[in-house]
Structure 1
Amino acid sequence: MSATIVPEAEAGAAAAIRRNFWRGVWRVMRRKPSRMAGALILAVFALMGILGPMLYPDPLPRDTSALYASPSLRHPFGTDFEGTDVLALVVTGTRYVLLTAVVTAVITVVVGAGVGLFAGFRRGRWDTVLMRFTDMKLTIPGLPLLLVLSTVWKFTAAVEMGLVLGLLGWGGVARAVRSQTLSLRERGFIEAARGLGLSTTHIVGRELLPGMAPYIAMNALIAVTGAVYAQVGLFFLGVLPFEANNWGVMLNLAVFGGGALTTTAALPYLLAPLLAILLLTLGIVLVVDAMDEIFNPRLREE
C-alpha cells in the first residue's frame, strides 16, 4: 500500500510545483505591461505562421489593374508588382520564417547545451576533444559557407534552412554553457549529489540544467532572432532561389525589382516585411527581459 502512496504523493508534489511555476510566470509577466505586450506580439506571429496560409488561397489572387496600389482599406499595405496584396504576402510568408527560426533555435540549444554540459561536467579528455571541435567550428565563416552551399542546396524547405543555420550556430552556446557548468560543478550541492552516489544523468538533468535554464532559454530566443536575420539576408541578397514566399524575397523584389529606394510606389512593399521583422524582434526582446525573473524563484517572490 505504501508503494502505491509514494508515487501518488510524488505526482501530486510535481503537479503543485508546476502550478506554482506557472503562477509565478503569470505574476512576472503582469508586473510589466511591456512583457505582456511582447508575449502578445509573439502569439500573434505564431498564429500567423500556423493559420496564415490557411486564410488565403494558393496561389494568392492577383489584380493586374492595381499594380503597386497605394494602401487602402482593401489593401492595408498596398499591392506588389503583380497586384498581389502585400499584407497577404507578409502573413503567408511568416510560416517559412518562423519555422526556420524555431528549427534553428532548437538545434542550436540542444546541441550547444548538450556539448557544453557534457564537456564541462566530464572535463579531462572529453572536454579537450569537444572544445577543440567547437573551436574549429567557430572559425568557419557562416555567410561564405552558406553562399557555397546555396550553389548545390536550394533550401526550398524551411526545415532544411533551419538545420543548416542551427548546425552553424551552436558553438557559442556550447562555449558559454561549458563555462557555466565548470562554475556550478564545484558548488556544494553538486558535491553532495556526487557523495550520495547519484548518476551523472541525474546530476546534469536535475541539478545543473535547471540552474542554467534562464541562460539557455534566452539563447533560444536570441537564436530565433539571428535565424530570422540570416535567412532574410540570404534571400534579400538573391543567393537563394525565390521558390518560397518569405519576407526576404519581398525585400529583394521591392528594392531590386520595384526600386523602392528611389520611388515611393513600391515603398509600402518594402516597409511591410521590415515592420514584421521589427515587431518580431521587439516581441523577443520584451520576453527575454522576463526570462531571468521567471526562472529565478527569489526574484519572482520579490
Structure 2
Amino acid sequence: MDTQHENAMIGWLKQRIQGFRTTLRIMRYNTVGYIGFLAIVAIVLLSYIGPYFIELDTDTKIDKIYNTPSSEFWLGTDHQGRDIFSQIVHGGKDVIAVGLAAGLISTIIGVTFGTLSGFIGGWTDTIIVAITDFVLTIPRFPLLVVLAAILTFDSNIYLGVILGLLNWPSLLRAVRSQALSLKQRDFIAAARALDLGTAHIVFREIIPNMMSYIIISFTLAMTGAIYALVGLVLLGLAPFSGTNWGIMLSLAWTRGAIFFKDSIWYIMCPVVAIAILQLSLITMNRSLELIFNPRLRTEA
C-alpha cells in the first residue's frame, strides 16, 4: 500500500515538473514576456529572501550623507547616511503584498459576479449592473484619500484590501460581456442539457475560457494598486512604518533631497525599482497570453 502511494506521489510530482517545464517553454516563445517573467522572479526573490541575507541599515552616519555608489554602498546612501541598497531589498515586500492583495480581491469579485451576471441574467444581472454602475461613478483616488484620512491602516495589507474593494467594477463589466457571448456557445448549451448546474457551468466551463483575460486583468490591477500605494504614501496618508519604495520617495521629497547634487541615487533608486516592477508585470502578460491562448503560439 505504501509502495503504491509513493509511486502515485512520484507520478504526480513528475507531471507537475513536466507541466512547469512546458509552461516555461511556452513563455520563451515571446522573448520580451519571458524577460519580464524572469525580472518578476528576481524581484520576488530579492524582496522575500534577500532580507534574510542583507540586514537593513538603520544607523545614522553623518559623515556619509548622500554618498555615491561605492564598494561599501552599492547604490549610495540617503539623507542619514544609510545604505540605499538594503532599503531597496527590504522595501519591495510591502509593495508586492499590496499589489497582490488588491489584484486578488478585485479579480475574484469582478470575475465571479461578472460571470454570474452575464450567465444568469434577469433580476440578478440588473442588480449587479446597477451596483457596478453606482461604484463606477465614485472617483476612486479621492475616496481613497478620504478613507485614509478617516481610517487608521495598521498594515499595508489593509490598504491592499481597500484598493481591491474599489477596483473591481471595470473588470466586472468586461467579464460580463464575455460571459454573455460565451453562454451562446454550443458547449454551454450541452452543459445545460446535461443539467450540470449553474456553479459547474460558471466555474468549470465559462471562467476557464476567460483565463487569458483574467490573468492579464489581475496583473494590471496589481500595477494600479502599486501606483495608488505610492501616491498615498507621498501624500502621507498610507502606513508610514517600516520601509518600502514609496516611503523612500516620500522621505527624499520631505528631506529636500532634490536640493543636493549627489542625492540623485536616493531619488532614482526607488523610482527605477517601481518602474522595473511595473514594466515587468506588463511585459509578462505577453507570455501569459501564450499559455492560456494556444492560438497565439502559432503566430509567435
TM-score relative to the length of structure 1: 0.89
1:170 and 2:171 correspond: no
Which residue of the partner structure matches residue 118 of structure 1? 116
The counterpart of 2:231, out of the listed 229, 233, 245, is 233
How many pairs are equivalent?
290
Change in CA separation of 1:19 and 1:197 when aligned onto 2, cut-off 3 Å: farther
Moved more, 18-27 or 103-112: 18-27
Change in CA separation of 1:18 and 1:120 when aligned onto 2, cut-off 3 Å: farther
1:296 and 2:293 correspond: yes
Moved more, 237-246 or 155-164: 237-246
**Structure 2 residue identity aligned to 1:298:** R
**Structure 1 residue identity aligned to 2:267:** L
1:277 and 2:274 correspond: yes
Which residue of the partner structure matches residue 71 of structure 1? 69
Unaligned runs of 5+ in 2: 1-8
1:265 and 2:234 correspond: no
TM-aligned CA deviation for residue 63 of structure 1:
2.3
Measured in 1, the distance between the counterparts of 2:121 and 2:243 equals 46
Change in CA separation of 1:203 and 1:20 when aligned onto 2, cut-off 3 Å: farther
Superposed CA deviations along residues 67-102 of structure 1, whole A, max 9, x for unmatched, are 111111211221111111111111111111010110
Unaligned runs of 5+ in 1: 1-10
**Structure 2 residue identity aligned to 1:279:** I
Does the CA-based 8 Å contact 1:96-1:244 persist in structure 2?
no
Change in CA separation of 1:17 and 1:202 when aligned onto 2, cut-off 3 Å: farther
**Structure 1 residue identity aligned to 2:161:** L
Measured in 2, the distance between the counterparts of 1:18 and 1:188 equals 32
1:206 and 2:208 correspond: no
* Within-5 A mapping of 1:123-142: 123-142=121-140
Which residue of the partner structure matches residue 101 of structure 2? 103
Measured in 1, the distance between the counterparts of 2:248 and 2:200 equals 48
Does the CA-based 8 Å contact 1:104-1:227 persist in structure 2?
yes
Measured in 1, the distance between the counterparts of 2:179 and 2:16 equals 25
1:29 and 2:27 correspond: yes
Which residue of the partner structure matches residue 88 of structure 2? 90
Change in CA separation of 1:241 and 1:297 when aligned onto 2, cut-off 3 Å: closer
Identical aligned pairs, as a percentage?
38
Which residue of the partner structure matches residue 217 of structure 2? 219
Does the CA-based 8 Å contact 1:78-1:86 persist in structure 2?
yes
Measured in 2, the distance between the counterparts of 1:19 and 1:58 equals 36
**Structure 1 residue identity aligned to 2:147:** L
Which residue of the partner structure matches residue 3 of structure 2? none
Superposed CA deviations along residues 51-76 of structure 1, whole A, max 9, x for unmatched, are 23333446633323211111112112
Does the CA-based 8 Å contact 2:60-2:81 persist in structure 1?
yes
**Structure 2 residue identity aligned to 1:274:** V
**Structure 2 residue identity aligned to 1:270:** I
Give the secondary structure class of the aligned counterpart of 1:65. Answer: helix
Change in CA separation of 1:56 and 1:152 when aligned onto 2, cut-off 3 Å: farther
Measured in 2, the distance between the counterparts of 1:208 and 1:15 equals 29
**Structure 1 residue identity aligned to 2:28:** R
Change in CA separation of 1:287 and 1:142 when aligned onto 2, cut-off 3 Å: same
Measured in 2, the distance between the counterparts of 1:151 and 1:292 equals 39
